[in-house]
Amino acid sequence: MLRLDGATVRFGARAALDAVDLEVAEHEIVCVLGPSGSGKSTLLRAVAGLQPLDGGRVLLGGADQSGVPVHRRGVGLMFQDHQLFPQRDVAGNVAFGLRMHGVSRAGQAAQVGELLDLVGLPGAERRSVAELSGGEQQRVALARALAPRPRLLMLDEPLGQLDRGLRERLVVELRQLFGRLGTTVLAVTHDQGEAFALADRVVVMRDGRIAQSGTPLDVWQRPASEFVARFLGFDNVVPATVTGESADTPWGKIPVPPGSPQGERRLMVRPMGVRVVPAGQGLPCTVAGRTFRGHHAALLLHPSDAPPLEAEVPLRTAPEPGARVGVDFAADEVVLLGEDAP
Ligand SMILES: Nc1ncnc2c1ncn2[C@@H]1O[C@H](COP(=O)(O)OP(=O)(O)OP(=O)(O)O)[C@@H](O)[C@H]1O
């Protein structure tokens, strides 16, 4: 459906998009994730035709899009700052793209009704958009983007402005809706929760390049590099020397999964793999902090002479701040990281 071949965009000496190769298959939902300034919006703008390329190509359905203007690309856009028309009612907003495509009035009304049902706002045609809540406005913007039945729907921080609870609900609804419609989606967000909940595949960007691409489960379980690991919030990362099924680290000798790459590496332990044991066993640590997180507690542990550790423990067994405990490590929560792309 979509292919980027060495797509490059430069602003002055800086490449905002640095020879990016990316493919999105029909019906696939791909979420591009990355810190501020990593090139996510530039990527979307380049695909939409809002940003000319300095090198490489964008292909839609196999056809090179160089010189093809935005409105001829058949892509739908929903940007965070994509304002609804405040002077038009809901139907007027949703029908906008249909009018542009010369759909008859009766046809417009029927399609608007269907789209509003789809996005969970049945019968809202005559409501004023100014009176809608943030979440309702977002749904109207989505219905408007879907109306011309774009072959590719692109979303830029689609749920960015909304509060957390609403975002979590909407993201589940969106995934179901796109699945039902068979919509191909390329979305960008800086919110990893949103990306992981929405996507069939996540693409993590850094400095205009792709740092990792994979299913949410793959990327979560096996971050490719220290950059991706830290971006996902995994901060238990140290240098290690791996020999066989154990590694020498500043936290002592810790077990690693069978088949791990050998030699000098960066090593990450997921907080679930940091197990609290009675003082006197394992690595001696002091509990420096404890945060309740729903079903578990997050502990910040200070070994005497090594980097701090984050542990995830059941609420009931979480030790008090100030307590002295021991720590050992579960091999299946240890990940050996690759090099960051240069
Ligand atoms: N029109 C422009 N002129 C000059 N530099 C630009 C322009 N647009 C983007 N940039 C630069 O290109 C880089 C990538 O920007 P981009 O907006 O694509 O990042 P992003 O990942 O979408 O960030 P955010 O999450 O903050 O929106 C940044 O360094 C930015 O400053």
pLDDT for 43-71, tens place per residue? 999 999 999 999 999 999 999 999 999 88
Count of domains for the chain? 2
CATH number (domain holding residue 235): 2.40.50.140
Q: What is the pLDDT of residues 64-75, one digit of tens each?
A: 999 999 888 989
37 Cβ inside 6 Å of ligand 1: yes
Residue 29 lies in a domain: yes
Residue 164 lies in a domain: yes
CATH number (domain holding residue 206): 3.40.50.300
The C-alpha atoms of residue 128 and residue 158 are separated, in whole angstroms, by: 21
Burial class of 142 by CB neighbour count within 10 A (0 to 12, 13 to 18, 19+): buried
81 Cβ inside 6 Å of ligand 1: no
Q: What is the pLDDT of residues 66-108, one digit of tens each?
A: 999 988 898 988 876 657 888 899 999 999 878 877 788 888 8
Residue 40 lies in a domain: yes
In this predicted structure, what is the pLDDT of residue 267? 97
Q: What are phi and psi of 129, to 5 degrees?
A: -65, -25
How much is the mean pLDDT over the chain? 91
Cα dihedral 273, 274, 279, 284 in deg (nearest 10): 130
Strand 152-156, strand 14-24: pairing: unpaired
For residue 190, the ligand 1 atom closest to its alpha carbon is: 25
CA separation, residue 59 to residues 25, 55, 70, 74, 137 (Å): 12, 13, 13, 12, 32
Longest dimension (CA), the chain: 79
Residue 219 lies in a domain: yes
Q: What are phi and psi of 51, to 5 degrees?
A: -135, 115
Asked if 85 and 129 touch (Cβ cutoff 8 Å), the reply is yes
In this predicted structure, what is the pLDDT of residue 174? 85
Top-confidence residue, 169 or 144: 144
Q: What are phi and psi of 160, to 5 degrees?
A: -50, -40
Element (H, E) at 66: none
| Whether residues 243 and 144 fall in one domain | no
| Whether residues 154 and 265 fall in one domain | no
Residue 264 lies in a domain: yes
Residue 342 lies in a domain: no
Residue 234 lies in a domain: yes
- Helices within 104-163 (DSSP H only): 105-118, 134-146
Domain coverage including residue 145: 2-228
CA of 156 to the centre of ligand 1 (A): 13
Q: What is the pLDDT of residues 172-229, one digit of tens each?
A: 888 888 888 889 999 998 888 889 999 999 999 999 999 999 999 999 999 999 999 9
pLDDT at 332 over 60: yes
Asked if 94 and 140 touch (Cβ cutoff 8 Å), the reply is yes
175 Cβ inside 6 Å of ligand 1: no
189 Cβ inside 6 Å of ligand 1: no
Asked if 129 and 89 touch (Cβ cutoff 8 Å), the reply is yes
| Whether residues 219 and 313 fall in one domain | no
pLDDT at 34 over 60: yes
46 Cβ inside 6 Å of ligand 1: no
Q: What is the mean pLDDT of residues 277-298?
A: 94
Which residue, among 54, 51, 109, has the nearest Cα to 77 in the 3D structure?
A: 51
In this predicted structure, what is the pLDDT of residue 118? 83
Burial class of 45 by CB neighbour count within 10 A (0 to 12, 13 to 18, 19+): buried
